[in-house]
Structure 1
């Protein structure tokens, strides 16, 4: 049975979470078969009959209560995640870690657009609840970070590179 993928935004540094503790907290909330990938807030779990919105709320509340951090949670079903991965127009254009997807909490308003300045080397494309980004010169020095997209789109998002998305698709199958 395909599973749900929850992406926590802002895990790391002062908001670092121990993945074994996170798994335990989420399992105690009735979210079964909880697995994590890496230490960046990538969670794969069974939905337990709950909607993606309910799951996001349960996870956000559990993290706030157990760890004291109010971190946004963006949820995708396995099918939605696999579809986003398949739609990424940059997926083979460069090293996987330099191709990223910004997963948005909701679709931006129709009038919101992504226009990358002509003097930026990056390419970006908004498609529904995802922004696909290619960083041909690397990510570290780029101005096109998640906050750049959030400000222009008015929607919360979290970023994962193409390698991580592929692993999450396989783990959630």
Structure 2
């Protein structure tokens, strides 16, 4: 298939295809766009599939790596790690970033924190744009205060980068 043609991406279970309007550029792959544990199908403790490809598009590999790393490290305050993410104790984020780097085959952690912060900002911007267009569930999320929460996460990541670098 010609690398400069748009790709059709299957939306599993919905019986439709979505056209990725952007052509893949140099160094790009088709990224999931919302690659978090909630979109992984698990069998016991092993991932066996990935679902929900609504935001799939060509992008640098680091796009999905940074998005996943936000949740794997995680880039959250200790209270949220304990309450929402159900950690039994505050995580050793630096060790988790290093393990993630190694598992992904990355040579270095240099630039990963900046990539995560940029991805957090991209996500907040996307939610804002979709909410302004009246797209659901983003419009409801914005009305319920998610944009403020996302801003707080970005601020936390910027001021606590020492915990992960």
Q: Which has the higher contact order (CA 8 A, sep 6+)?
A: 1
Is the pair's TM-score, using the shorter chain for normalization, greater than 0.5? no
Give the helix-richer structure, 1 or 2.
2
Give the strand-richer structure, 1 or 2.
1
What band does the TM-score fall into relative to the shorter chain? under 0.3
